[in-house]
Amino acid sequence: MTTMAEPFRIGFTSDFFLPDGSSAFGDIGTGLLESVPNVAWEQIGERGPELQPEEIAPFDAIAVLSRRVPARTLDGAPKLTIVARYGVGYDSVDVPACTRNGVLLTITPEGVRRPMATVNLTYLLALSHRLLEQDRFIRAGGWATKHEVRGVGLAGHTLGLVGFGNIAREFVTLARPLEMTVRAHDPFADPAAAAALGVELVDLDTLFETADFLAVLCALTPETRHLVSAERLAQMKPTAYLINAARGPIVDQAALTQALQKGRLAGAALDVFEREPIDPGDPLLSLPNVLLSPHGLGLTDEWSYITGQVACAAMLDVAGGRVPPNVVNRDVLDSPILREKLRRYEEACR
């Protein structure tokens, strides 16, 4: 890439960094940016749940972790060309506003597939062996009566998957030696891919009624919001466990709490919540049969490195006037606004 008249400016949201300015997640791909002439990156300094128009107005690209990017912010940043979301969820970004403003929205499926699959496997094993209860039991001096906290063997039990995308398929591959029956529901699933992994595609009623461990692995959309409702939870076996490391609002959290309190479910493991951070007074925090983590169990060094490389490569593609992979809002590719932005970047690099 030859020298541009002005640098291609990239802003990283403040939640990537510690108060001293160092990365909170290790390698997030900035070294890749520093190897390219006339590309400059910096931290977007303000902290808060929602990005403001004046924060992103100077930038050609922004790298986003958890801060929200609403329509009014995008409407106030005509220079912006790409929002590079670290992760695969994009419910925090107004997608129609991106398209309207000629802004690409990209995600990083390569970086989350294995880390999030192992999160679900970790939860599956911890729940089946009642690991948290065992830990509490020994701390309370319960060694002599350890038979009171017995686990569940997984062979022959049914693993249910709400969604059958990249993470779900990786999860199935990792869990294959456990010899479970695996069923999934996903209206967009490829039957051949499911058959190749030995997964039976079923309707939602069958999934909820037969699963011994049910993992939520779908995206949050208007159609999936509260998909795991009180009615669906009532269909589950009282011996069943629920796992959710996808998005909190897919599960009706109040209904889940009530089901756990009344013994209508054996337990749950949650990395995500309807409101984040979780309220310190939330009743989930006091339930003994729930494993909780702060929407961060998948944030490993593997996640940060691969995700960072993919996201930064996408921003560099745009800096060169190219369309990157993993574009969420494909309709934007027909936008004259976007085409003009990319044309200017391409010409500046000649």
- Enumerate domains of the chain plus CATH numbers: 8-107+320-348 (3.40.50.720), 112-292 (3.40.50.720)
Count CA within 13 A, CB hemisphere, residue 69: 33
Q: What is the DSSP letter of 143?
A: G
pTM over cut 0.75: yes
User: Whole-angstrom Cα distance, residue 248 to residue 272?
Assistant: 5
The length of the chain in residues reads: 350
User: Whole-angstrom Cα distance, residue 249 to residue 229?
Assistant: 10
Quote the tokens at residue 65.
Answer: 């972790």
Residue at 262: amino acid letter: K
User: Whole-angstrom Cα distance, residue 35 to residue 275?
Assistant: 39
User: Whole-angstrom Cα distance, residue 212 to residue 158?
Assistant: 5
Residue 295 is among the residues annotated as catalytic for this protein: yes
Residue 231 is among the residues annotated as catalytic for this protein: no
Residue at 39: amino acid letter: V
Catalytic residue among 231, 276, 340, 346: 276
Structure confidence at residue 47 (pLDDT): 73
Structure confidence at residue 264 (pLDDT): 98
Structure confidence at residue 1 (pLDDT): 41
Residue 276 is among the residues annotated as catalytic for this protein: yes
Structure confidence at residue 5 (pLDDT): 67
The strands making up 39-43's β-sheet, listed across from edge to edge, are: 39-43, 8-12, 61-64, 82-85, 104-106
Catalytic residue among 9, 100, 157, 295: 295
Kindly report the average pLDDT of the chain as a whole number.
Answer: 96
- Burial (CB < 10 A; 0-12, 13-18, 19+), residue 20, is exposed
Extract the residue ranges of the chain whose pLDDT is less than 50.
1-4
